[in-house]
């Protein structure tokens, strides 16, 4: 949907569930997927997403008017019912189910935000860290197995999206 004359832009091989909402200043790369009841609302500030980003069911991505854009890198998984708001998420990150990332946060590459975590405004999560809790705090370093899991999830969603394209 366009807002104020601006329509979302997206790359090749993307999948959008029929009831996903993508509005306004949204730009995403290739092989992205936006799942059922997810909302990406670029009405007040731009939202940019790299390649192979999956926004799972019920997740919300928004930003803050005239203050914080939302930037999401490559191979990022935003799990079911997560909220990502006015922050930067670098490459190869997993945002767990129901997690909330607040304004002006920086989630660096190779990190995992646990399910239900609330990452408070202005927090910096360093590369390769796991954060969890309310408020979220550092738990441990991710390690090689976690990086493999982040990549596995990011690669699974284009595979799942292909199932829906086959149905047409």
Tell whether domain 9-166 is in CATH 2.160.10.10.
Answer: yes
Q: Tokens standing for 151?
A: 């990549």
**Domain residue limits, the chain:** 9-166
Structure tokens at 136: 């979220």
Both tokens of 123, joined, read 């927090």
Of the pLDDT bands very low, low, confident and very high (cuts 50, 70, 90), residue 86 is: very high
- The tens digit of pLDDT for each residue in 90-119 reads 999 999 999 999 999 999 999 999 999 999
Please classify residue 62 by burial: count the beta carbons closer than 10 Å to its beta carbon, then call 0-12 exposed, 13-18 middle and 19+ buried. buried
User: What is this structure's pTM?
Assistant: 0.95
CA dist 85 and 124 (Å) reads 14
Q: What is the pLDDT of residues 11-70, one digit of tens each?
A: 999 999 999 999 999 999 999 999 999 999 999 999 999 999 999 999 999 999 888 999
């Amino acid at each position: 949907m366009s807002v104020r004359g601006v329509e979302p832009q997206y790359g090749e091989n993307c999948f959008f569930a029929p009831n996903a909402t993508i509005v306004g200043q949204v730009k995403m790369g290739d092989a992205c997927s936006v799942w059922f009841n997810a909302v990406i609302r670029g009405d007040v500030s731009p939202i940019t997403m790299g390649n192979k980003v999956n926004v799972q069911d019920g997740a919300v991505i928004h930003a803050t008017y005239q203050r914080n854009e939302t930037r999401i890198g490559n191979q990022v998984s935003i799990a079911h019912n997560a909220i990502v708001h006015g922050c930067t998420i670098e490459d190869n990150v997993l945002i767990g189910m129901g997690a909330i990332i607040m304004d002006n946060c920086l989630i660096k590459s190779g990190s995992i935000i646990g399910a239900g975590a609330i990452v408070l405004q202005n927090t910096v999560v360093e590369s390769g860290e796991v954060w969890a809790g309310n408020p979220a705090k550092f738990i441990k370093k991710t390690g090689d197995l976690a990086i493999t899991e982040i990549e596995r999830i990011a690669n699974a969603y284009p595979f799942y999206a292909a199932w829906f394209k086959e149905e047409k």
